[in-house]
Chain A
């Protein structure tokens, strides 16, 4: 029985996983948009310890984002409508990437386009830039008018975007899905058919908050995306549906604050997880989650994290 393993094993469990051909030293990635370009966290976090770092979403041209207020806290979470403010591809390659290249941690560039052609162009340009291990294709941002979530809610459009990116790059492609759909498995299968190497899910849930006193919305954009511990059960359900629908690896995202939260996703069947909002609350959240997962493996006699993936017991 796994649960009755030795109390002080003579080994350290292997935490390494390989996703879409990218080998990670552990299954914990910093999620896009919650870790900047890494430099913001470097004073407090040893970036070499992360499984992978996913950059803030990058578009072909710089984007100014939405007018403030852009965030509001809700019970167990927060709603944001940042609107993909970013430095643009050129400045990313010139100003941000050199810093990230110093570390032994794979850097995955999150990319976002307004058209299928823009996605392809971004993929091509980043393919030529040393220091990028893979691309995460964002087809799920709820906070911009054009593109974004439109590509993530229509299986045909999702297929077209992933095909265009796949044709433009040799890099492995993760595709980040929106939870704001009726049947997530249709989108996931379309992504798999189009050659996506892995699926990241979930992005934020569309949400809203108002102030009854002033009768005004609390975000300038009126609606935004909900993240944080409040969304974890919804994320876990969507992940469960997708791991049962596709063969490509799945990366679990959604409200992971603790090692136990991460373990839930791994047990359900994801090879890796991403930690997002937790970074904003606790800059060392990723490190604490990595250490906690390893301690769990040791405690329960697992030699390898991969033994735990998809080990959900259903009688």
Chain B
């Protein structure tokens, strides 16, 4: 530990480092939570950023996999930080990961991308998660609590087996509201409908933070827009390098790309693509082109 695979040193990140797997339990059917001891300085990591984890030294699975930083613990400036990753076993890469045992050395790259932006003065915030989307919001709630901000958490899932982290959020003192599509626990229906009806008899929050499936994010973005509430969303994409080099992970935005200029407009070019790994993964919801994403 504490060296990069090439022995190179880096400042400020991203860091290419070895970490040690401390634990990797299945926390719910097909969901695992991995805790990794890393030499990455706590102060260089923002909630909403992500890590790329190398799955195999062999050519299969070839690409690293991106994961939101789920939780963070400061080990002190000399010792780095413990980083948790909450993941769902969905494909070959995550299937490999689920078999990893305590003590394994992991080749990790991060922190990457832009995290959630927080300001010193913020009113009550609503954190809205769909399914595995909770993975990206817990580190944020840790940070909000540390800064003394007020917030509530809304978690939606297909069934109660897909509702994760309720105890963890409650442990931070947050109000947690749950919705399941089958009504097995909490509100019966979509989490976005629950948020909508919640707003009928509660004051508006001063901001939304959302992470989950695109349809859920689109619905939250609409609610936020109709109420003129700022909303930050964390997006996912198929990704190769995570560093902004390969341009593989772009999504379509309304935003003005740095490349867009009078010249490109004259040539009829749209230039609305932004890299999830570099300009994201957190975007202002108004910036995303939800129709063509």
Whether chains A and B associate is: yes
- Residues on A facing B (Cβ under 8 Å): 33-36, 40-41, 43-46, 56, 61-65, 67-73, 75-78, 80, 82, 85, 87-88, 90-91, 228-230, 257, 277, 279-284, 287-288
Contacts of A43 in B (CB 8 A): 10-15
Query: Is the Cβ of B5 less than 8 Å from the Cβ of A284?
Result: yes
Contacts of A76 in B (CB 8 A): 59-60, 62
Please tell me the size bucket of the interface on B.
Answer: 35 or more
- A75 CA to B5 CA in the complex, in Å? 24
Contacts of B64 in A (CB 8 A): 281
- A76 CA to B61 CA in the complex, in Å? 7
- A64 CA to B264 CA in the complex, in Å? 9
Query: Is the Cβ of B8 less than 8 Å from the Cβ of A45?
Result: yes
Query: Is the Cβ of B13 less than 8 Å from the Cβ of A62?
Result: no
Query: Is the Cβ of A281 less than 8 Å from the Cβ of B259?
Result: no
Query: Is the Cβ of A61 less than 8 Å from the Cβ of B59?
Result: no
- A11 CA to B278 CA in the complex, in Å? 44
- A53 CA to B151 CA in the complex, in Å? 48
Query: Is the Cβ of B11 less than 8 Å from the Cβ of A229?
Result: no
- A39 CA to B125 CA in the complex, in Å? 36
Q: Which of the listed residues B6, B54, B263, B273 has the most CB atoms from chain A within 10 Å of its own CB?
A: B6
The one of B107, B250, B259 that contacts A87, using a Cβ cutoff of 8 Å: B259
Query: Is the Cβ of A72 less than 8 Å from the Cβ of B238?
Result: yes
Question: Given contacts A44-B10, A73-B63, A284-B8, is CB(A64)–CB(B248) below 8 Å?
Answer: no
Query: Is the Cβ of B237 less than 8 Å from the Cβ of A80?
Result: no
Contacts of B13 in A (CB 8 A): 43
Contacts of A280 in B (CB 8 A): 63, 240-241, 245-246
B269 at the interface (CB under 8 A from A): yes
- A87 CA to B4 CA in the complex, in Å? 32
Question: Given contacts A62-B271, A281-B54, is CB(A41)–CB(B245) below 8 Å?
Answer: yes
Query: Is the Cβ of A91 less than 8 Å from the Cβ of B259?
Result: yes
B252 at the interface (CB under 8 A from A): yes
Contacts of A56 in B (CB 8 A): 245, 247
CB nearest to B240 among chain A residues: A280
Contacts of A230 in B (CB 8 A): 59
CB contacts between A and B, total, < 8 Å: 140
Query: Is the Cβ of A288 less than 8 Å from the Cβ of B6?
Result: yes
The one of A45, A70, A287 that contacts B248, using a Cβ cutoff of 8 Å: A70
Query: Is the Cβ of B62 less than 8 Å from the Cβ of A283?
Result: no
Contacts of B237 in A (CB 8 A): 68-69
Proximity bits, B1-29, A CB within 8 Å = 1, else 0: 00011101011111110000000000000
- A257 CA to B64 CA in the complex, in Å? 14
Contacts of A64 in B (CB 8 A): 259, 264, 269-273
Contacts of B241 in A (CB 8 A): 34, 40, 279-280, 283
- What 15 additional pairs, Cβ within 8 angstroms, besides A33-B246, A71-B248, A77-B59? A36-B245, A44-B109, A45-B6, A56-B245, A64-B264, A65-B250, A69-B237, A78-B63, A80-B240, A82-B246, A229-B59, A281-B62, A284-B6, A287-B8, A288-B5
Q: Whole-angstrom distance from the CB of B93 to the nearest CB of chain A? A: 9
Contacts of A36 in B (CB 8 A): 243-246
B267 at the interface (CB under 8 A from A): yes
CB nearest to B261 among chain A residues: A62
Q: Whole-angstrom distance from the CB of A53 to the nearest CB of chain B? A: 12
Proximity bits, B149-160, A CB within 8 Å = 1, else 0: 000000000000
Question: Given contacts A41-B245, A72-B238, A87-B259, is CB(A284)–CB(B4) below 8 Å?
Answer: yes
Proximity bits, B240-282, A CB within 8 Å = 1, else 0: 1101111111111000000101011001011111000000000
Q: Whole-angstrom distance from the CB of A99 to the nearest CB of chain B? A: 14
Q: Whole-angstrom distance from the CB of B38 to the nearest CB of chain A? A: 15
Q: Whole-angstrom distance from the CB of A260 to the nearest CB of chain B? A: 13
Query: Is the Cβ of B59 less than 8 Å from the Cβ of A85?
Result: no
Interface positions of B from 151 to 207, Cβ below 8 Å from A = none
Query: Is the Cβ of B248 less than 8 Å from the Cβ of A282?
Result: no
Q: Whole-angstrom distance from the CB of A244 to the nearest CB of chain B? A: 28
23 inter-chain pairs at a CB distance below 8 angstroms, sorted by A residue, are A36-B245, A41-B243, A61-B264, A62-B264, A62-B267, A64-B273, A67-B292, A70-B247, A70-B250, A71-B239, A71-B240, A71-B248, A73-B62, A73-B63, A73-B238, A78-B62, A82-B248, A91-B259, A257-B59, A279-B241, A281-B54, A281-B64, A282-B54
